[in-house]
Amino acid sequence: MIKKTKINDIEMEYEVIHRNVKYARLEIKTDSIRLIMPLNYNKDEEIMKNNEKWIYKKLSRIKASQKEAENKELNLLRTDKEFRTMVLLSVEELSKELNVKINKIYFKRMKTRWGSCSSKKNININIYLMHLPSYLIEYVVYHELAHLVEMGHNKKFWNIISNKYPNYKNMEDELLIYWLLVRKLIDNHA
């Protein structure tokens, strides 16, 4: 169900989805706001009101990233083979640094993330990452390998990340900017 709300004089739509979940959660993507709520739980307006500052901050970050994306370009020259070799070499080097062992690496087209790590020690890498600068590819690989030390995005995890990348917040911002460019590329080829 699509609903409307107003935050700081900005009208916006959000989607309310009821699922068999224990707790309500907000998801803000580059093009949508979704509120996932337990079945028979109808306090969406209260949740939106209680999270206004967070929503506004996230949306402001997306808007700023859209503006920054105008000054960036994707690398459309790197081949699939070059990309896979780069990732495999990074995994080899960085897994030693973190003292972790992986099971398998998969390359996939992913619509919502640059990579993921499973409890079975499998690493998934978004093939669209091939269009980003090398240092961001290495960062994503390190990020996913760090999940083999700490699965969640908690303080311990971000401490691991900040040991190698003290400027990781800037890296995360850049990933958002490039995500917007990749989404445009995907939409143009759909």
pLDDT of residue 4: 80
What tens digit of pLDDT does each residue of 84-110 get? 999 999 999 999 999 999 999 999 999
Q: Strand, helix or coil at 189?
A: coil
pLDDT of residue 190: 59
pLDDT of residue 137: 98
What tens digit of pLDDT does each residue of 26-73 get? 988 877 889 999 998 888 889 998 998 999 888 888 888 989 999 999
Measured CA to CA, the distance from residue 98 to residue 121 in angstroms comes to 14
Contact 62, 176 (CB under 8 A): yes
Confidence label for 11 from pLDDT (cuts 50, 70 and 90): confident
pLDDT of residue 188: 74
CA 30 → CA 19, 153, 165, 183, distances in Å?
A: 22, 20, 25, 9
Q: Are strands 25-28 and 33-38 parallel, antiparallel or unpaired?
A: antiparallel
Measured CA to CA, the distance from residue 180 to residue 182 in angstroms comes to 6
What tens digit of pLDDT does each residue of 163-187 get? 999 999 999 999 999 999 998 887 7
